[in-house]
Structure 1
Amino acid sequence: MFKQLKLLDVDQVKALREIAANGKFVDGKISNPHSKIKNNLQLHDVKAYEESSRILNDALMSNSEFLEFAFPDIVAPPLITLHRPGMNYGLHADNAIIPLPEGPIRSDISCTIFLNDADEYEGGALRVTHGEASMRFKGTPGSAIVYPSYTLHEVEKVTKGERMVAITFIQSKVRDVMKRNLLYEFNEVAALEGLNMRHENYTRLQAAQYNLMRMWME
């Protein structure tokens, strides 16, 4: 249900941080004016947004781990956001439908991409709940965490420094999270152990994979 990725290289992180340094940021409520829990800043500069989104989207769509885990159909253009001292984003689940200029998408998977070092700020962990348990993430620059959009999650208050991340939402070709995870596990086993299996057994495993994909992919 959760996947941590190494997504961006040093040059990509540097380029994104330079775009952010020269870009205009506005109150994050511009995209959700009725929210009582959203307290952040987001990039609001057409040219900077297009360039940063291109870099981030290209990185996602060329990352084999992301493709094999998320089965992406549509990826919303990633958006750089900032949290400064006193800012947080309260506990919430992401909207089921994300409006985009090209038409709305269903948010099956959420993704946070870390753009600065955890040592540069205090607080600001991404806390994702799972039942009564919760996990906190403060990734290294260029790393990402992918998780189901329906989970309750929050960005804890930043008390010092500045937290810079990019966020995006993914409509998956496999809507159901359990089915998606089963396909991922089958694919992982086939990739790791396929060469050690008898050919006829590996062929049967592949047939089962393909048939499940036919049944479940949209």
Structure 2
Amino acid sequence: MFKELEVLNAAQVAELRAIAASANFVDGRISNPHSQVKQNLQLHDEAAYNRSSQLMTQALYAHEDFQNFAFPVAMLPPMMARYTSEMRYGAHADAAFLQLGAMGLRSDLSCTIFLSEPASYEGGALVIQLGSRKLSFKGAPGTAIVYPSDMLHEVERVTSGERLVAITFIQSRIADKTRRELLYDLNEVAALEGLGMKPENYARLQLVQANLLRRWGDKP
């Protein structure tokens, strides 16, 4: 259901921090003006957005485990967001359908890419509600957490320092998260154990994989 990935190297993180340091950020409610719980800043600089989102988009699509876990069909260009002292993003749900210019998608998965050193700020953890439990994430620079978009989540108040992240949303070929996880697990087993199987049994396993993707996938 959740996947933590190392998607950016140190040089890429440094480049993104440099872009953020010289770019313009505005009140994050520019993209959600009716929110009563959103208190952050988001990148509002076309040149900086184009450079930073291209870097992160390429890194995610080049990451094999991201491809295997998310089954991505479309992804919004990642957007950098900044949280300074006392900023937070209270418990909220992500919109089911998102539009950016001419690009629209169904949000099946949400993704946060961490860019700040965890020790450089207090508070600011990403907290995801899972039934009666809360899961907390505060990743190292360059790591990402990918999780279902249909869950309540929040960013805790930053009490000191600055939290810099990027966020994006993914439409998956497999809309149902249970089916997506089952197919991911099946594909992982096939990759790890398939070559040790008898060829005729491996062929049957590959047929099951392909037919489940045909049955459950809603995009080519």
Q: State the TM bucket, normalised to the shorter chain.
A: over 0.9
**How far did 1:196 drift?**
1.6
Q: Which residue of 1 aligns with 2:122?
A: 122
SS in 2 for 1:116: coil
| Per-residue CA distance 1:86-144 (angstroms, 9 max, x = gap) | 00000011010111112321100000000011001000000011111111000000000
Between the aligned partners of 1:81 and 1:74, the Cα distance in structure 2 is 21
SS in 1 for 2:151: coil
Q: Which residue of 2 aligns with 1:85?
A: 85
2:175 alignment partner AA: R
1:67 alignment partner AA: Q
Please say which of residues 191-200 and 87-96 is displaced more in the overlay.
191-200
1:144 alignment partner AA: A
SS in 2 for 1:4: strand
Structure 2, unmatched stretches of 5+, are: none
What is the Cα-based RMSD across aligned positions, in Å?
Answer: 0.6
1:130 alignment partner AA: L
Q: TM-score, normalised by structure 2?
A: 0.98
| Per-residue CA distance 1:2-58 (angstroms, 9 max, x = gap) | 000000001100110000001000000011111000000000000000000000000
Q: Which residue of 2 aligns with 1:146?
A: 146
**How far did 1:168 drift?**
0.1
Between the aligned partners of 1:75 and 1:134, the Cα distance in structure 2 is 26
Structure 1, unmatched stretches of 5+, are: none
Between the aligned partners of 1:120 and 1:31, the Cα distance in structure 2 is 27
Between the aligned partners of 2:104 and 2:195, the Cα distance in structure 1 is 42
Between the aligned partners of 2:20 and 2:95, the Cα distance in structure 1 is 25
1:131 alignment partner AA: G
Q: Which residue of 2 aligns with 1:201?
A: 201
Identity %: 56
Alignment map for 1:61-140 (pairs within 5 Å) = 61-140=61-140
Paired residues, what number?
Answer: 218
